[in-house]
Amino acid sequence: MRSHPHRPAAPVAGVVPLALALALLATGCEASTTPTATDDTFASVRFTLGARGDIQVAGTSRTAVTRAGDRTVTGGRAYPFDRPPGKLLVVLRHWPSGVRAARDGVRLLPPPDDATIESAYLVDTGDWALAELDGHPVQWLRRDTIRVDTTKAGAVGRTHLTLSGPRGSRPGRVTPPDARACDGVDPAVNRYVVLPEVESGAAVPEVLARLRERCLDVQYVSMPGGGHRGTVRSIEIPVAGHTAPVAELPPTDDSPAQGRLPGDKILTDPSRPTRVLVTR
């Protein structure tokens, strides 16, 4: 599919300062430095999106963004968009236009047959970029994929995803885990994984590292209330089959897959991303 430049619908305010995020994410890890930014260096771009698919792109580096298409998906599955070498892929999940996004409440997953839309964008960051969800740092990215799900945002909820490059000589990123251990994982084949320990209020990088050790594909969800802002509220790991769609950690009384605890082995469906719910 041929991609074409995406023009912003409206300007958006500047990016959140990175000092606090860098201090949080770089603890105990090696960091690299980035040369002083020039006019051609990626600075920042911000995606503002509603649950019904109204997406705006703004920021000083919005010309680095190109559309990669829209695909209809069902049952919470992820569409395998192509990601060219050197590009960062942003996938935004939302309801089709005209669908009432508020119908699902706060905690419930969409019914398995409900169709949602995934809108994809390619971003030429050049180097490492920090992803912030509603102003809170979640992940450093380069030549990678980040997924954000807005189907739980409600009819009027809006989500902000900001990508920003390091400034001056500040450290660029934490050292990521070795992804080569997941090279042999087939995304089309169900497989067993051991459920990790997850605490409500945990830092996003800590939980993300545990999920990546299990080669789980991650999709972020921004949720209001329920804990300290910018921390993990809970995670939902997809379970193969229809009787128990997800294992929710930490477990709750109304969890759709009760009785599944950290340390238990479950059969996962890798075609559906693991949801990391972040407190807005």
Residue-wise pLDDT tens digits, 148-187: 999 887 655 789 999 998 765 455 555 555 667 787 888 8
Percent of the chain with pLDDT over 70: 70
pLDDT above 90 for 137: yes
Asked if residue 1 belongs to a domain, the reply is no
Cα distances (angstroms) measured from residue 31 to each of 59, 89, 174 = 26, 23, 5
| Higher per-residue confidence, 70 vs 109 | 70
Identify whether residues 36 and 157 lie together within a single domain.
yes
Where is the domain boundary, 174, 203, 228? Answer: 174
Identify whether residues 46 and 149 lie together within a single domain.
yes
Where is the domain boundary, 155, 174, 193? Answer: 174
Q: How many other β-carbons are positioned within 10 Å of the β-carbon of residue 35?
A: 10
Asked if residue 243 belongs to a domain, the reply is yes
Identify whether residues 159 and 217 lie together within a single domain.
no
Burial class (CB in 10 A: 0-12, 13-18, 19+), 214: middle
Cis-peptide, bond into residue 238, ω within 30° of zero: no
Amino acid at 83: R
Identify whether residues 231 and 125 lie together within a single domain.
no
Structure confidence at residue 23 (pLDDT): 40
pLDDT above 80 for 103: no
Identify whether residues 34 and 151 lie together within a single domain.
yes
pLDDT above 60 for 6: no
Structure confidence at residue 163 (pLDDT): 97
pTM above 0.85, yes or no: no
Domain boundaries, position 100: 19-174
Identify whether residues 53 and 170 lie together within a single domain.
yes
Burial class (CB in 10 A: 0-12, 13-18, 19+), 208: buried
Structure confidence at residue 260 (pLDDT): 78
Cα distances (angstroms) measured from residue 131 to each of 44, 111, 142 = 10, 29, 10
Asked if residue 10 belongs to a domain, the reply is no
Asked if residue 26 belongs to a domain, the reply is yes
Identify whether residues 151 and 231 lie together within a single domain.
no
Identify whether residues 127 and 200 lie together within a single domain.
no
Query: If you search the block for the tokens 């890890």, which residue do you land on?
Result: 29
Put the strands of the sheet holding 136-141 in their side by side order.
55-58, 44-50, 158-164, 129-133, 136-141
Identify whether residues 70 and 195 lie together within a single domain.
no
CA distance 166 to 161: 16
Q: How many domains does the chain have?
A: 2
Where is the domain boundary, 140, 156, 174? Answer: 174
For residues 179-196, average pLDDT: 85
Identify whether residues 150 and 51 lie together within a single domain.
yes
Asked if residue 246 belongs to a domain, the reply is yes
Asked if residue 14 belongs to a domain, the reply is no
Identify whether residues 66 and 29 lie together within a single domain.
yes
Q: How many other β-carbons are positioned within 10 Å of the β-carbon of residue 259?
A: 9
- Side-chain-side CA neighbours of residue 65 (13 Å): 26
Asked if residue 253 belongs to a domain, the reply is yes
Asked if residue 179 belongs to a domain, the reply is no
Identify whether residues 165 and 76 lie together within a single domain.
yes
| Higher per-residue confidence, 160 vs 261 | 160
